[in-house]
């Protein structure tokens, strides 16, 4: 399990409340890791009682108070342990691939709309990533010594960009195949 670790990394990058973490998981981090607020609150509670994170009550005006979490020494140690422990190259779950193979036993043409929707979603994500890259990773080049955090965030973002581009190309391939099957029969 690694939701704990994803939270640790996010809190090391910037301390924040459960609510803020949930929003980060919806946006940036959420593209390679997702979690709902219910899940996050539960895990934060466990992490706190395990001494991985510290809490600080932050009173706010015109807003409910929030609990700001930050990483404690034990949390850093836990992250260190996890980083030095091998993980399995993840086996993905591509629902869409199952649907495509399933379409052989149904109407392939009926899938076109669905694939189009996915294509649109990936187009949007790609645009979102590229905007983020332009915002955060252009301008003042490599400081010396280089900022490791910045470099590493950038390489992860480049991964997201490569993934979306690959998906778009593949979805075009899928659409061409579906159209071909719909045409000649």
Partner DNA sequence: TGCATCATGTAATCAGTTACATGATTTT
Partner DNA sequence: AAAATCATGTAACTGATTACATGATGCA
Site string for its own copies, 27-66 (x = CB under 8 A): ---xxxxx--------------------------------
31 binds, among its own copies, DNA, none (CB under 5 to 8 A by kind): its own copies
Q: Which long-range contacts (CB under 8 A, 24 or more apart) does 115-118 make?
A: 115/171, 115/174, 115/175, 115/178, 116/175, 118/171
Interaction of residue 137 with its own copies, rule CB under 8 A: no
Pick from 1, 148, 155, 183: which binds DNA (CB under 7 A)? 1
Size of the site for its own copies (CB under 8 A): 71
Residue 66 or 153 with smaller CB distance to its own copies: 153
22 binds, among DNA, its own copies, none (CB under 5 to 8 A by kind): DNA
Within residues 55-94, the interface with DNA by CB under 7 A covers: 60, 62-67
Interaction of residue 80 with its own copies, rule CB under 8 A: yes
Q: How far apart are CA 74 and CA 50, in angstroms?
A: 8
- Chain position carrying tokens 């704990």: 4
Within residues 3-22, the interface with DNA by CB under 7 A covers: 3, 17-20, 22
115 binds, among DNA, its own copies, none (CB under 5 to 8 A by kind): none
Q: How far is the CB of 121 from DNA (least distance, A)?
A: 17
DSSP state of 92: P
Residues in contact with DNA by the rule CB under 7 A:
1, 3, 17-20, 22-23, 34-39, 41-42, 44-45, 60, 62-67
């Amino acid at each position: 399990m690694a939701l704990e670790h994803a939270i640790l990394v996010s809190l090391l990058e910037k301390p924040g409340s459960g609510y803020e973490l949930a929003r980060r998981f919806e946006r940036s981090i959420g593209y390679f890791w997702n979690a709902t607020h219910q899940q996050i609150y539960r895990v934060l509670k466990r992490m706190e009682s395990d001494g991985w994170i510290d809490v600080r009550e932050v009173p706010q005006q015109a807003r409910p108070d929030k609990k700001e979490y930050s990483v404690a020494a034990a949390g850093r140690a836990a992250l260190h342990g996890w980083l030095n422990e091998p993980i399995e190259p993840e086996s993905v779950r591509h629902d869409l691939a199952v649907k495509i193979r399933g379409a052989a036993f149904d109407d392939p043409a009926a899938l076109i709309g669905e694939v189009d929707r996915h294509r649109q979603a990936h187009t949007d994500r790609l645009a979102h990533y590229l905007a983020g890259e332009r915002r955060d990773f252009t301008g003042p080049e490599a400081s010396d010594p280089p900022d490791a955090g910045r470099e590493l965030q950038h390489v992860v973002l480049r991964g997201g960009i490569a993934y979306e581009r690959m998906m778009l190309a593949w979805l075009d391939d899928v659409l061409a195949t579906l159209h071909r099957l719909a045409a000649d029969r």
